[in-house]
Each structure stands twice: as C-alpha cells, then as structure tokens.
C-alpha cells in the first residue's frame, strides 16, 4: 500500500496524518498530478470555503486527475470539504462548479431551531450496515462534526449514513465502490474515526 494525502494548502493535515500514523501508515503529501501515479489509496482532508478549495485544486492542476482517480475505482476518502467538493455546486460559493462526481448541491443550514455551525458529537444512521467500510460498527456510531453546509438532493443509492440535526436529516456520508466520503471528521472522532479509517485502508 502507498497512501497519499491531497495537500492544497488549506486542509487540516496534521490531525489526519497523525490518525493514519496511529494505524501504521505514513501518508505522502500530494501537490502535483504526477505524484498520484504510484499511490494505491488517497485521502482528501478538507477545510475552508468550497470556492477557495476548488480554486486551489485547479491551480495545482489536480481537479481532473482527481475525477479520473475516482472514476477508475481507486480508493478515495474525502473528509468535510473533501466530501462537499465531490458534488456539483455549493451555496457557499455561487458560480463555482465542484468536481461533479456525485449529483447534488451543498446547502446551508437554514432552520432557526439549530445553531450554525453544527459543531460537536452526533450520531449517524447507517444506511449500508453490511458495507465493508462500516465493519464492526453498531447502528448509530458517534462522530465529530464542524460544518455549516451539507449536501442536499443526494441520490439514495450512494448515501452511506445520515445524521439528524434539529428537525433536519442530512446526508453525512456517501459511498460508491471504493469511494467513501464523510461530512464528519474521522480524525477527530477517537476510536470510531480510527476504525472507519482502518476499514478504508483495508479495502
């Protein structure tokens, strides 16, 4: 296995690197398309605004190689903005197209009944409990969230887990083949997060 991690200058890399090292893997930081060539697994930890992150990917010429990586079925784990960028667009950055790997638009929480951002621990409802990504998990594991936006109108066939916040239930994770992406932060989710990362790396 050779694990790579997208470094676009904005992500929370240190925590994710430490989580991977705790599992016995030392990821290589990726800043150029040619550095993807020898990898077997790829993690995209995201932090920052949707538009800024897409601009960074285009500047580094990584947007199209990422689409190709995912379409070829290679293992990909997107975290937070690395999850949101998979969709078509986001209300956070009108006029900016996402990677468009999955249909849907990222929208902002609008209910007056909840605090924005959604921050802290919350349970997720597993929709594909027999998935190898969720091996060893109970029905409602807890993970750590920090976000104001979430993907909406997501195809039910790719929804891996949902989360309830106030009266709203949103898509908290998707999976398709070797692709896994989560709105929550596994690197901040203690044992549950490490178990999920471990399942991904064992694909």
Residues carrying an active site annotation = 80, 185, 187
Tokens at residue 168, please? Answer: 């709203």
Please name which of 46, 64, 78, 92 lies closest in space to residue 173, comparing C-alpha atoms: 78
Residue 59 CB contacts under 8 Å (≥ 6 apart), including other chains: none
Whole-Å CA distances, 181 to 16, 33, 94, 155: 14, 21, 22, 14
Whole-Å CA distances, 200 to 1, 181, 203: 12, 10, 5
Residue 126 CB contacts under 8 Å (≥ 6 apart), including other chains: 134, 137, 139, 140, 141, 160, 161
């Amino acid at each position: 296995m050779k694990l790579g991690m997208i470094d676009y200058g904005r992500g929370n890399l240190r925590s994710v690197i430490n989580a991977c090292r705790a599992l016995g893997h030392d990821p290589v930081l990726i800043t150029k398309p040619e550095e993807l060539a020898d990898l077997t697994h790829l993690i995209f930890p995201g932090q920052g605004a949707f538009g800024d992150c897409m601009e960074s990917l285009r500047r580094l010429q990584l947007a199209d190689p990422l689409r190709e990586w995912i379409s070829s079925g290679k293992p990909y784990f997107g975290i937070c903005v690395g999850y949101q960028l998979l969709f078509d667009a986001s209300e956070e950055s009108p006029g900016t197209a996402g990677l468009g790997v999955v249909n849907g638009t990222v929208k902002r929480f609008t209910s007056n009944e909840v605090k924005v951002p959604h921050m802290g621990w919350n349970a997720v409802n597993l929709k594909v409990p027999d998935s190898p990504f969720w091996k060893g998990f109970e029905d409602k594991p807890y993970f750590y969230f920090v976000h104001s936006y979430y993907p909406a109108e997501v195809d039910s066939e790719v929804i891996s887990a949902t989360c309830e916040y106030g009266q709203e239930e949103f898509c908290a994770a998707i999976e398709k083949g070797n692709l896994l992406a989560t709105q929550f932060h596994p690197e901040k989710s203690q044992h549950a997060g490490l178990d999920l990362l471990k399942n991904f790396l064992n694909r």
